[in-house]
Structure 1
Amino acid sequence: MSLPPGFLDELQSRLSLSQVVGRKVMWDNRKSNPAKGDMWAPCPFHQEKTASFHVDDRKGFYYCFGCHAKGDAIGFVRETENVDFIEAVKILAAEAGMAVPERDPQAQAKADRRGQLTEVMEQAAQYFGLHLRSGAGAAARDYLKGRRLSDETLARFGIGFAPDGWQGLWDHLTGKGVSPDLILACGLARESTKGGKPYDVFRNRIMFPIRDARGRCIAFGGRAMDPNDNAKYLNSPETELFDKSRTLYNLGPAREAAGKGGPLIVAEGYMDVIALVAAGFEAAVAPLGTAVTEHQVQLMWRIAEEPVIMLDGDRAGLGAAYRLVELALPLLEAGRSLRFALMPEGQDPDDLLRAEGAGAVQARIDAALPLVRLLWQRETEGRDFDTPERKAALERLCHEKTALIRDPALRGYYERALKELRWQLFNPRRTAPRREPMDGKGRGKGKWAPPETARAATRNSALVSADSAQAIRMREEVILATILSCPEVAEEFEPEIERLRCADPRNAGLRAAILRHAGAGAETLRAQIAVEMGEDSLEKLLSLPHVAIAPPVRHPGDAERATLTLREEFAKLAAGAGIEAELREAVEDITGLADETMTWRLREAAEARNRAIRNQQEDRAEYELSENGARLKREERAEFAALLDRLGMGKPPGG
């Protein structure tokens, strides 16, 4: 089966090799560098414990230094899924949301035509370059010199000039034997509506070649030299070579520069990109239209996990940034986001470079806002929240925006971040001052000092940690052990499992393994955990006293017991989190004006706490601690004691 030209290039540009490989391996976080696409793991093709399997996410290749396996995403799927080439392409296309074209007997003819079109585009680029250096391009050269572009920069970007004539390029190409239909198909000329000879699309314009990731010229952008021209910038029309919604200006060189550690900067236009590159910011790209598209965002993330959006510092630029926030929310994933470097009002990156130099641009990059802060700015800028109704409207709006995020774990973090920002807005924290103590000479009386911060010993003491972090960890361990004893219930509780905090690295590893392999059954799940985390990882968990007495652990495979236990434990975790949040917010309000609303909230928080305590007391009513610290069920202990009495053996152990 022959695939259309460019299909495989687009397929692999839409996918991240680390995501494809990540389904089969456990990354070594100590050795990997996700920001640079440099990932390491134990090889999936041979048994080993060290991370010798390397994935270069930017180049799209993997290599094992142990067994010397190597290839790309298609090769990896072929080897791990044991499928042929076309089947591997279909698997990856389904993941990328692309339809595999049906068998095309004329695929070679299409490939040949695409090659012919790119040859015509290269001839046009040479024609424009020659005219920039000719007498006709004198005004264009003066303009570019005024923009401080050196000859080296002009040559690097292939900048040229389209002379002011109706058929200059047309006559040049046809004179070299280029077929008229190829010139029209490239979008370099248009048919005359008056029945005359086709005319050039670009006239009296500075020309910027637009190249694909492989460096082939696929389109042009032209800046008008005439200030009265209706279109200051004009792009090639969409053709067989060019889809502006899936292309970024300077894509190939920027991808290479970002691979060397440079920040990926997304500017607004050609001149901004060229100025940034000339100033040393070589990983700079620009969209080819008025708005960034979903495909372009995905293309940026193939290069860098957090591109820096650097749009113009005017209302239009800020509006474009706000629209990009709305577009990006449903696309966000853990580790993939956007940051926004806001320009001074009325300036673009080129203006800032000329006025203040590269240091000013670097400062803007360093101070770039995360997406959540720009979302907050968009929803609060220029608005008052002086009434309960306005505050409630903002809260509802925040919930509507976070609901767009598909990743449940990431959505939870956004909800908490926006909630914290609302409290900072509605209830600015006031720290109660304290009076400085007097020394032996009476000094210090009447002065106020800031409150002392908690000492490290206090923060780490059992009094602080036992009732919160330790209790949460113990409940998490019961939850994980319950699922390991009955994996078939995991699907029902998948959202809750994803939201587990798992501050303990071992618990976090178990949670990740459960989410990956729970559907494969108990034996497979345990085998995978043994491979990924060590043979004794399960034994350590199941031997914990509070885990060993859990009913699902004592009765493995009992789905009903497991479901009831998970519902109860997740409910208690949620209740505990709710109590902490309510008490924390109430304490913040105490420093402000105490009113009936605050006392009502304190009363509600206290009642929630009492309900949680009652649940814990119910646990203690059913279980009690023996001398060795193990929890014993009261009913079973009473039956055992009665049996001993009948046998004349006295009290049971621990009685």
Structure 2
Amino acid sequence: MSLPPGFLDELRSRTSLAQVVGRKVMWDPRKSNQGKGDMWAPCPFHQEKTASFHVDDRKGYYYCFGCHAKGDAISFVRETENVSFIEAIEILAREAGMPMPERDPKAQEKADRRTRLAEVMERAVQHFRLQLKTGAAAEARDYLAGRGLSSDVQERWEIGFAPPGWQGLWDHLRGKGVEEDLILGAGLAKPSNQGKAPYDTFRNRIMFPIRDAPGRAIAFGGRAMDPTDNAKYLNSPETELFDKGRSLFNVRSAREAAGKGQSLLVAEGYMDVIALSEAGFTATVAPLGTAITEDQLQMLWRIAPEPVIALDGDTAGLRAAMRLIDMVLPQLEAGKSLRFAIMPPGQDPDDVIRTGGAGAMQKILDQAQPLVHLLWRRETEGKVFDSPERKAALDKALRSAIQKIPDATLKRHYGDEIQRLRWELFGNRSKGQRQGGRLRGNWNKDPAGATPGARASLLAATAGEIEDQLREAVILAVLLTHPALLPDFEDELDRLDCSLPDHARIRDAVLRHGGCEPNELKAKVVGETGADALEKLFTQSHIAVIPAIRHSSDVGAARQCLHEEFVKLGARRGAAREVSEAMQDIDRLADEGLTWRLTQAALAKERAEHGSSEDKTVYDTAPSGARMNREERSAFDALISNIQFTKPGRRSD
């Protein structure tokens, strides 16, 4: 079967070799660098214990330093699946969502036509470049010089000019013997509706050639010289060579530069790409007149795991970014995301470089925001949250957005960061920032006049939040004292949604280093979270009454304590979620079923907090079979009751 030119190149560009190989091997985490696509594993082609099999995901090649096996994704599938060349391509194409070319007996004829179309495009590139040197292009040369593009830069980027005439390129190509059908097929001319000869697609425009990953000229972008022209920028129509949604301007050079360690930048237009590249940011691409498509996003991730979107500092640029969020969230996975660098108001990257140089641009890139912060900004900026209903609406919108993320672990981390931002917003807002309930300014600033103790006080939380924070603290303190129990409670800890940022950081550190001895674990946690976080945890008064903390050698008490706290915390939060969902449904589902749901949630919470039965012995028996002194078990519950006796929400301004 003959494949059309460019099919295999596109297949390779849309396929992650690391993902293909990862189905057959276990990566060595000590040698691999997922961020750079530099992966190592024991070779799947011969028996070995060391990781001598290397995958360069950016270049799309593998090599074994033991048996010297080498190749790309196609050869890997052929060897490991024992299939033919075409069958391997079919497997990869199906995974990449690419339809296989039909088994057409005229496939070679089509392939030849595409080759001829590419040759016509190269003729057009050369023609436009020559036209830029003529007297008719004086205004275009002045414009380019005014934008800081010297003659050398113009040569490097093959910039040309299409004169104002209606048939300049048409007559030139026809004079060289190029068939009319090929000129029309390449998108360089359009047929006349008045029975006349076809006319040029591009007229009175500065011309930028668009090349694909292998380097073939597949289209043009033209910048109008006439300020009254309806289309300031015009791209070639889609052709057999050019698919706008699957192409990126400057993709070939950007891929090479990203492979050498540069950050991949995504700008809005041709001039931005040229300005950034000439300033040293050579790993820069641009979509072609449309918002980033799913296909382009996958292309970007094949080049780099975390591209930076360089946004113009105007309303249109921000709107485009906000729309991009909903398309990206369902595509996210561990190690693949986006960051957003927002230019100063009214400026684009070209403006920033011309006024402040490469240094000014680098400062903006260094401050690029992660996707989660842009999501938060979209849902909160300029909005009023002066009532419980509006706060609930914010929570619902954020929850709905996060639910689009398919990766459970990534979804949890997004939830943690949103929780931290929410804590800063509603827990640390000063009078000057409220201004009638509308959010303004920097939400991360501390409230005016608030002491550190007041900011961290439990008085800022509701009764339910107080209980959650206390139970979270007990769980973390017990695990830090008894890290050997982590394997038994690792799933519960991994799913634990912490109410406080410090608790979340301690939880993550414990999950990473839980196999250590207690003192070593605490030292590593301090190294990641700082001494203050751990000191605050263990100096809380209720921690001292926990038997598992007082008697650090009593593993049974520690196990029983962890079991109870996870059960009670889960039951309270489950009941709270049920109530929240019921409140949302109350208008349309106010029936006996809704009442039953709320009753069951309350009963589950009651059973978890007080046990299914009570007796008069000095011990309680837990579901796990462990026995615990009832007096000690009650100490913590009594403390919670006393704390809850204080009305939440009262604070001094």
> 1:34-82: per-residue Cα shift (whole Å, max 9, x none)?
2222111111111212211111111111000110000100111111111
Given that 2:160 and 2:206 are in contact with CA atoms closer than 8 Å, whether structure 1 keeps it comes out as: yes
Q: Counterparts of 1:36 and 1:408 in 2: how far apart (Å)?
A: 23
Q: Show the counterpart of 2:625.
A: 622
Q: Pick the aligned partner of 1:474 from 484, 488, 505.
A: 488
The letter for the 1-side match of 2:65 is F
The letter for the 2-side match of 1:354 is R
Compute the displacement of 1:426 (Å). Answer: 1.5
Compute the displacement of 1:473 (Å). Answer: 3.0
1:412–1:574 CA distance, 2 compared to 1 (3 A): farther
Given that 1:308 and 1:341 are in contact with CA atoms closer than 8 Å, whether structure 2 keeps it comes out as: yes
Q: Pick the aligned partner of 1:503 from 491, 512, 515.
A: 512
The letter for the 1-side match of 2:324 is L
1:253–1:416 CA distance, 2 compared to 1 (3 A): same
Compute the displacement of 1:87 (Å). Answer: 1.8
| TM-score calculated relative to the size of structure 2 | 0.72
> 1:205-263: per-residue Cα shift (whole Å, max 9, x none)?
10000000011100000001111111111100000000110001000000000000101
Q: Counterparts of 1:501 and 1:85 in 2: how far apart (Å)?
A: 48
Compute the displacement of 1:470 (Å). Answer: 5.1
Compute the displacement of 1:423 (Å). Answer: 2.3
Q: Counterparts of 2:476 and 2:410 in 1: how far apart (Å)?
A: 31
Q: Show the counterpart of 2:18.
A: 18
1:367–1:49 CA distance, 2 compared to 1 (3 A): same
Given that 2:55 and 2:63 are in contact with CA atoms closer than 8 Å, whether structure 1 keeps it comes out as: yes
1:608–1:162 CA distance, 2 compared to 1 (3 A): farther
Compute the displacement of 1:476 (Å). Answer: 3.8
Compute the displacement of 1:143 (Å). Answer: 0.8
1:386–1:460 CA distance, 2 compared to 1 (3 A): closer
Given that 1:60 and 1:73 are in contact with CA atoms closer than 8 Å, whether structure 2 keeps it comes out as: yes
Compute the displacement of 1:357 (Å). Answer: 1.0
Compute the displacement of 1:612 (Å). Answer: 8.4
Q: Show the counterpart of 1:339.
A: 339
1:366–1:574 CA distance, 2 compared to 1 (3 A): farther
The alignment partner of 1:193 has SS state of: coil
Given that 1:572 and 1:612 are in contact with CA atoms closer than 8 Å, whether structure 2 keeps it comes out as: no
Compute the displacement of 1:85 (Å). Answer: 1.4
Q: Counterparts of 2:69 and 2:173 in 1: how far apart (Å)?
A: 48
The alignment partner of 1:46 has SS state of: coil
Name whichever of 183-192 and 80-89 sits farther off.
Answer: 80-89
Compute the displacement of 1:24 (Å). Answer: 1.2
Q: Counterparts of 2:95 and 2:555 in 1: how far apart (Å)?
A: 42
Name whichever of 163-172 and 572-581 sits farther off.
Answer: 572-581
Q: Is 2:90 aligned against 1:76?
A: no
Given that 1:575 and 1:612 are in contact with CA atoms closer than 8 Å, whether structure 2 keeps it comes out as: no
The letter for the 2-side match of 1:314 is D
The correspondence of residues 93-242 of structure 1 with structure 2, limited to 5 A, is 93-242=93-242
1:620–1:127 CA distance, 2 compared to 1 (3 A): closer
The letter for the 1-side match of 2:254 is A
Q: Show the counterpart of 2:375.
A: 375
Q: Counterparts of 2:396 and 2:231 in 1: how far apart (Å)?
A: 42
Instruction: Give unpaired runs (5+ residues) of structure 1.
Output: 431-447, 481-498, 508-544, 551-568, 584-602, 626-655
Q: Show the counterpart of 1:314.
A: 314
Given that 1:341 and 1:369 are in contact with CA atoms closer than 8 Å, whether structure 2 keeps it comes out as: yes
Q: Show the counterpart of 2:609.
A: 610
| TM-score calculated relative to the size of structure 1 | 0.71
Given that 2:220 and 2:235 are in contact with CA atoms closer than 8 Å, whether structure 1 keeps it comes out as: yes
The letter for the 2-side match of 1:303 is I
> 1:139-160: per-residue Cα shift (whole Å, max 9, x none)?
1111111111122221111100
Compute the displacement of 1:450 (Å). Answer: 5.7
Q: Show the counterpart of 1:426.
A: 426
Q: Counterparts of 2:153 and 2:32 in 1: how far apart (Å)?
A: 36
Name whichever of 614-623 and 313-322 sits farther off.
Answer: 614-623
The letter for the 2-side match of 1:272 is D
The letter for the 1-side match of 2:489 is R
1:573–1:464 CA distance, 2 compared to 1 (3 A): closer
Q: Counterparts of 2:428 and 2:484 in 1: how far apart (Å)?
A: 31
The alignment partner of 1:248 has SS state of: coil
The letter for the 1-side match of 2:428 is P
Q: Show the counterpart of 2:284.
A: 284
Q: Counterparts of 2:49 and 2:283 in 1: how far apart (Å)?
A: 37
Compute the displacement of 1:608 (Å). Answer: 8.6
> 1:464-499: per-residue Cα shift (whole Å, max 9, x none)?
54478654433349999xxxxxxxxxxxxxxxxxx9
Q: Counterparts of 2:83 and 2:555 in 1: how far apart (Å)?
A: 46
Given that 1:4 and 1:104 are in contact with CA atoms closer than 8 Å, whether structure 2 keeps it comes out as: no
Compute the displacement of 1:580 (Å). Answer: 10
Q: Counterparts of 1:606 and 1:116 in 2: how far apart (Å)?
A: 73
1:468–1:303 CA distance, 2 compared to 1 (3 A): farther
Q: Counterparts of 1:72 and 1:612 in 2: how far apart (Å)?
A: 60
Q: Show the counterpart of 2:384.
A: 384
Compute the displacement of 1:620 (Å). Answer: 7.5
Given that 1:476 and 1:500 are in contact with CA atoms closer than 8 Å, whether structure 2 keeps it comes out as: no
Q: Show the counterpart of 1:54.
A: 54
Q: Show the counterpart of 2:8.
A: 8
The correspondence of residues 428-467 of structure 1 with structure 2, limited to 5 A, is 428=428, 465-466=479-480
Identity %: 61
The alignment partner of 1:357 has SS state of: helix
The alignment partner of 2:512 has SS state of: coil
Query: Across the two proteins, how many residue pairs are aligned to each other?
Result: 511
The correspondence of residues 548-563 of structure 1 with structure 2, limited to 5 A, is none
Compute the displacement of 1:610 (Å). Answer: 3.5
1:460–1:54 CA distance, 2 compared to 1 (3 A): farther
Q: Show the counterpart of 2:505.
A: none
Compute the displacement of 1:420 (Å). Answer: 2.4
Q: Counterparts of 2:58 and 2:202 in 1: how far apart (Å)?
A: 35
The letter for the 2-side match of 1:360 is A
The alignment partner of 2:210 has SS state of: strand
Compute the displacement of 1:132 (Å). Answer: 0.7
Q: Counterparts of 1:236 and 1:126 in 2: how far apart (Å)?
A: 17
Given that 2:341 and 2:365 are in contact with CA atoms closer than 8 Å, whether structure 1 keeps it comes out as: yes
RMSD: 3.7
The alignment partner of 1:28 has SS state of: coil
Q: Counterparts of 2:476 and 2:346 in 1: how far apart (Å)?
A: 56
Q: Show the counterpart of 2:463.
A: none
The alignment partner of 2:206 has SS state of: strand
Instruction: Give unpaired runs (5+ residues) of structure 2.
Output: 431-449, 457-472, 495-507, 517-553, 577-601, 629-653
1:420–1:120 CA distance, 2 compared to 1 (3 A): same
1:60–1:108 CA distance, 2 compared to 1 (3 A): same
1:462–1:170 CA distance, 2 compared to 1 (3 A): closer
Name whichever of 241-250 and 80-89 sits farther off.
Answer: 80-89
Q: Counterparts of 1:193 and 1:266 in 2: how far apart (Å)?
A: 39
The letter for the 1-side match of 2:139 is A
Q: Show the counterpart of 1:273.
A: 273
1:381–1:169 CA distance, 2 compared to 1 (3 A): same
Q: Counterparts of 2:180 and 2:161 in 1: how far apart (Å)?
A: 22
Given that 1:474 and 1:546 are in contact with CA atoms closer than 8 Å, whether structure 2 keeps it comes out as: no
Q: Show the counterpart of 1:512.
A: none
